[in-house]
Structure 1
């Protein structure tokens, strides 16, 4: 209850009983204001802010003009109205039910001698506690809604900033990839040109992830089939002649987190570039990239129908691509195998859609 003296508005046309109520509740720590009609009581409540406030109302049923139920209805329509204890001499229980349904906090039967005053005091105390609890509940709910609104605003701002960061990073990486492409085009030595082209592909693989995140509705995942399609299109555009004209993709719409998408993209870049360089010495040939899922397990294959496993024997090979594939496979916790039954080269990677739980990692091996 408030530290200040609470004010009770007693609405009743019986002046003698009103004086009894005033004396009885004043002794119990209340300030009592009397209104002799429903209209006068409503006027007190509406002017309460300038008169010190009304904390609780005791309302009689039978009065000239507005009766108690009519007055109660109008009190309940006032914003921030005080709680109402309905008081009447009637023994008709239907009045009590109607009053409680209309919003009264409590109901009691009065007598002309004032014996009900202790009960009125108890009912007023209960109504005040109930009002305070309701106010606290409403304030807590308002604070929760305000906190949710603040959180939503912060989340929207964070998402906007992340999109802007991904946009800027993607653009910057694409500029670097373009510069590497220009440098590779003007390089006189084949080894230098190949190294710059490979570096360009690696940068482009990372740039594609950031571009995907900038345009995606979900900043926490990348749809792999769309990402790989754009990545392979970048490789086709950067290739000389028609060496990647028969590069194909078959991939399911699998969502994966951005870090793992980067690792997948770099692996695809390395193995496709490896096939372009070594699988078909006499020209272009088919290169197939396929991504499938079985529950949480994913399988990525890069297949060509070329001359087979001659990379290690080729003097042009530095082994950098294999080391990068091994590093990215380790990041994915993937197994890497070469299909010995395939006449050309078929590399198979198996890994989980999400990182495995600690202690359940598998050993990634690059061939």
Structure 2
């Protein structure tokens, strides 16, 4: 009799546990759906902003203003692509860097119509980064490659841009973007420069506690070093 009562109590407890597990699983599914929907809507909203900026350029006659709008479109696209990839991924929180860098490179090639004039060589290690690091890196990448495309090759001949993103020891990562172009002007000051792009890259590097350098090296070379520890990513 006692054994039957004990079994009944255990059965009741197990049923309660099963109900709670089912409820928790439902909450997890709902949370994942909500996160996916948020990334989808952010991506759509950013695309809408890009479209509005494109429409605005039709009413501008000043070349500098048109260029500023185009640069803003590319920056927004770099962020939009991240939310698109998060929406499509299973994790909803981390970005596969080789895939992201490749797609962003392809977008810039089409945006500047350089497929027949400038060669871009990628050497990207396979690893993932969270939103906190992938957005700054994507924006720095966008600025560096855009500057190389616009200024490094005035004759539009034999241009090569090399892009390396490597995971080295002790949770350290290094992004290097170099070109074989004309290099930096003699009076270029990387620490006191009026360029919005340069200021943006310095600021984004600081956001991830990175070390940012821009130097002459048979062309222009941009280096970003940063440390990312998965255990401290939240």
Task: Using structure 2 for the length normalisation, give the TM-score.
Answer: 0.86
TM-aligned CA distance change 1:339 to 1:136, over 3 Å? farther
Secondary structure of the equivalent of 2:222? strand
Change (3 A) 1:182 1:231: farther
Bigger CA radius of gyration: 1
What is the alpha-carbon distance in structure 2 between the residues aligned to residue 307 and residue 321 of structure 1?
A: 18
Partner SS for 1:246: strand
Change over 3 Å in CA distance of 1:277–1:252 after alignment to 2: same
Correspondence for 1:154 among 27, 48, 59: 27
Select the structure with the greater relative contact order (CA < 8 A; seq sep ≥ 6): 2
Give SS of 2:22's match: helix
**8 Å CA contact 1:288, 1:302 repeated in 2:** yes
Partners of 2:39 and 2:84 within 8 A in 1 = yes
Alignment RMSD (CA, Å) = 2.6
8 A contact 1:249–1:289 mirrored in 2: yes
1:177 Cα deviation (Å)? 1.8
Secondary structure in structure 1 of the residue aligned to 2:102:
helix
Structure 1 position 352 matched with structure 2 position 227: yes
1:324 maps to what in 2? 200
Separation (CA, whole Å) in 2 of partners of 1:322 and 1:356: 31
Corresponding residue for residue 18 of structure 2: 145
Name structure 1 gaps, 5 residues minimum. 1-82, 84-126, 359-367
- SS of alignment partner, residue 298 of structure 1: strand
Alpha-carbon distance change, 243 to 216 in structure 1, aligned in 2, over 3 angstroms: same
SS of 1:281 mapped into structure 2: coil
Inter-partner Cα distance in structure 2 for 1:308 and 1:181: 31
Contact 1:256 1:354 in 2 (8 A): no
Q: CA deviation at 1:148?
A: 1.4
Secondary structure in structure 1 of the residue aligned to 2:156: coil
Check the 8 A contact 1:244/1:276 in 2, yes or no.
Answer: no
Instruction: Tell me: CA distance 1:217–1:354, structure 2 relative to 1, closer, same or farther (3 Å).
Output: same
Distance 1:243 1:310, change over 3 A: farther
What whole-Å deviation, never above 9, does each CA across 1:120-178 have from its counterpart, x for those lacking one? Answer: xxxxxxx2xx5444433332222222211111111111111211221121122122223
CA contact (8 A) 1:246 1:287 kept: yes
Partner of 2:41: 168
1:291 aligns with 2:165: yes
In 2, Cα distance between the equivalents of 1:148 and 1:312? 66
1:333 aligns with 2:209: yes
> TM-score, normalized by length of structure 1?
0.57
